């Protein structure tokens, strides 16, 4: 994804002498050539307008909706980045906008191999989508009241957010379970699974009075263990401490204790920073040790099952993330189109005769674009914006600015034209 920044600019058709949208857009584009930016038409249909009070309330609703949509776009993008381990090239391939069913089909390997060349007909990079935006009149009929359109967009956004969060949560839980299972196979003797290490012959499982404990010991503590384990608690079987495994950090010993003193032995072992290990398999023992020849096979099957489930959920999360990103971007842009329309009507009145352009620029050149727009169109602001003796734009009517803030324009610096910045990262 490029570091481009987009600006939405709406102006009345009256900025051109012909007083029509084509001429107004041409005038806007010509004005911005001095700022070395790329300007495209952002086509917005005419919507059904209610009362002035309703428009003011809808302007506030659309401000929140657009902010929420931008947040969802960012969250889904971050989820895709995490899924693809930060590979920005791969992330960019997934962050496209198009029909959700086609995006789903092209995520399937057998379809993508056959029809990859046709994908461009249904999906496109975000830059291309923004620069060729067209209101989806099938999904969001422009003859519906603005309040209904806002409600539809909000429901769409909530659905996307919930679906993506649910699937990625499911994937992350499985991924964590898999990591835990893998650590059991590769850790040291204090943490790893003992299923492939402990044999039935190492344990007493059929004694009425005796039980076997497994103790993992740091190498530096082995001498102390051998010197003291027999007196750690009453009724420890002498010379029952037997080494059964070792790695670079730990030794694993068995110790036989009378059952009635087993809990005391374990407690005192922990006090000495030895690590009692529990072993789970088939069969049962009174000391919490369970063993059996099928334990290692059971853990291997569990690991393979988790690996299979993780791969399956990874693919599902990728498909849903790709679709969710597309839907979130489209919802965001439709919310912005409505926001521009409502703000333009509130700013310039009826009839709604205006032109909207989307300007592609870089973060470092935004100030220059603003300066060009302010210089050319400050007269649209009436008393809110004026010029000093050198022709520089200034705000010279504090009372008007206060009124603007009270009317809902106080969340950002006031401009004589409708203006919004879009960060699509």
Q: What mean pLDDT is predicted for residues 395-410? A: 49
- Residue with token string 């853990």: 299
* pTM for this predicted structure: 0.77
Lowest mean pLDDT among 38-52, 101-115, 307-321: 101-115
- Answer whether residue 264 shows pLDDT above 80: yes
In contact, 291 and 285? CB cutoff 8 Å: yes
Lowest mean pLDDT among 95-109, 158-172, 199-213, 326-340: 95-109
In this prediction, residue 385 carries a pLDDT of 54
- Answer whether residue 99 shows pLDDT above 80: no
Q: What is the torsional sign of CA 92, 62, 71, 331?
A: negative
- The residue ranking higher by pLDDT, 99 or 148, is 148
Lowest mean pLDDT among 187-196, 223-232, 353-362: 187-196
pLDDT exceeding 90 applies to what percent of the chain? Answer: 70
- Answer whether residue 201 shows pLDDT above 90: no
In this prediction, residue 121 carries a pLDDT of 43
- Answer whether residue 280 shows pLDDT above 70: no
- Answer whether residue 1 shows pLDDT above 50: no
- Answer whether residue 337 shows pLDDT above 50: yes
- Answer whether residue 382 shows pLDDT above 80: no
In this prediction, residue 296 carries a pLDDT of 72
Highest mean pLDDT among 151-155, 346-350, 383-387, 404-408: 151-155
- Answer whether residue 18 shows pLDDT above 80: yes
Average pLDDT, the chain: 86
- The residue ranking higher by pLDDT, 409 or 216, is 216
278/272 Cα distance (integer angstroms)? 18
């Amino acid at each position: 994804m490029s570091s481009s920044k987009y600006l939405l600019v709406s102006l009345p058709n009256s900025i051109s002498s012909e007083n029509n949208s084509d001429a107004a857009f041409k005038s806007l584009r010509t004005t911005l050539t001095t700022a070395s930016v790329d300007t495209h038409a952002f086509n917005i249909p005419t919507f059904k307008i209610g009362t002035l009070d309703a428009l003011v309330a809808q302007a506030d609703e659309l401000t929140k909706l657009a902010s929420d949509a931008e947040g969802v776009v960012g969250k889904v993008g971050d989820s895709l980045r995490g899924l693809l381990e930060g590979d920005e090239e791969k992330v960019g391939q997934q962050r496209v906008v198009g029909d959700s069913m086609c995006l789903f089909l092209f995520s399937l390997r057998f379809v993508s191999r056959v029809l990859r060349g046709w994908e461009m007909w249904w999906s496109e990079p975000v830059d291309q989508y923004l620069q060729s935006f067209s209101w989806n009149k099938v999904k969001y009929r422009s003859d519906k009241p603005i309040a209904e359109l806002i409600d539809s967009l909000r429901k769409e956004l909530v659905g996307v957010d919930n679906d993506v969060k649910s699937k990625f949560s499911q994937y992350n839980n499985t991924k964590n379970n898999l990591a835990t299972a893998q650590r059991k196979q590769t850790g040291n003797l204090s943490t790893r699974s003992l299923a492939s290490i402990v044999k039935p012959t190492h344990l007493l499982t059929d004694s009425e009075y005796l039980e076997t404990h497994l103790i993992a010991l740091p190498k530096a503590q082995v001498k102390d263990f051998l010197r003291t384990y027999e007196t750690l608690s009453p009724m420890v079987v002498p010379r029952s401490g037997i080494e059964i495994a070792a790695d670079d950090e730990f030794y694993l010993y068995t110790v036989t204790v009378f059952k009635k003193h087993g809990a005391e032995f374990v407690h005192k072992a922990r006090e000495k920073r030895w690590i009692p290990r529990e072993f789970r398999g088939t069969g049962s023992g009174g000391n919490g040790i369970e063993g059996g020849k099928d334990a290692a096979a059971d853990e291997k099957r569990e690991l393979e099952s988790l690996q299979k489930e993780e791969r399956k959920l990874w693919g599902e999360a990728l498909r849903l993330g790709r679709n969710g990103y597309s839907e979130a971007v489209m919802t965001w842009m439709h919310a912005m189109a409505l926001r521009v329309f409502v703000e333009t009507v509130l700013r310039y009145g009826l009839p709604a005769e205006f032109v909207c352009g989307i300007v592609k620029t870089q973060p470092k050149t935004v100030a220059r674009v603003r300066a060009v727009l302010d210089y050319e169109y400050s007269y649209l602001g009436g008393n809110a914006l004026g010029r000093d003796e050198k022709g520089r734009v200034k705000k010279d009517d504090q009372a008007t600015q206060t009124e603007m803030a009270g009317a809902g324009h106080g969340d950002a610096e006031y401009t004589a034209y409708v203006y919004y910045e879009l960060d699509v990262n």
